[in-house]
Amino acid sequence: MERTAVNPWDWSLKLGYNQAEIIEGAKRQVTCAGQTAVDGNGVPQCAGDMRGQIALALDNLEAVLAKAGMDLSNVTRLGVYATDVDEALKNFDLLGMRFGPHNAAPPMTLLGVTRLAIPGLMFEIEATAAD
């Protein structure tokens, strides 16, 4: 798979994502459900801790991708939902720490929501990946 970044402006690069990417030569695509801060039994973790919830949601996303034979380098799009956008943005360095080593800056949308499916969860991340 070959990725070509499309960035008519550079401001999004400072936030860790491309405006678009051209994906060529992909053989498989995986669509991941939203991942949150739950344990292996689906029990919410890190109550009241946005940073902890982002870290665990990313762990869970990586686990789903690994089960599909992929990793964060394969992610072509992210959808992020947060009950407190400002607090999520304060902790977005975690995304850079995870995606940076893969040289990945997938296009992303961040939406503020009043709540997520399970009370107490503050952050959810969904992904599309290809190889």
- pLDDT tens, residue by residue, 31-49: 999 999 999 999 999 999 9
In one-letter notation, the amino acid at residue 125 is I
- Which residue segments constitute the domains of the chain, with CATH numbers given? 2-130 (3.30.1330.40)
- pLDDT tens, residue by residue, 8-20: 999 998 888 999 9
- pLDDT tens, residue by residue, 95-111: 999 999 999 999 999 99
Which residue is it, tokens 């992909």? 26
This prediction's pTM: 0.93
Q: In this structure, are residues 26 and 1 in contact, taking their beta carbons and an 8 Å threshold?
A: yes
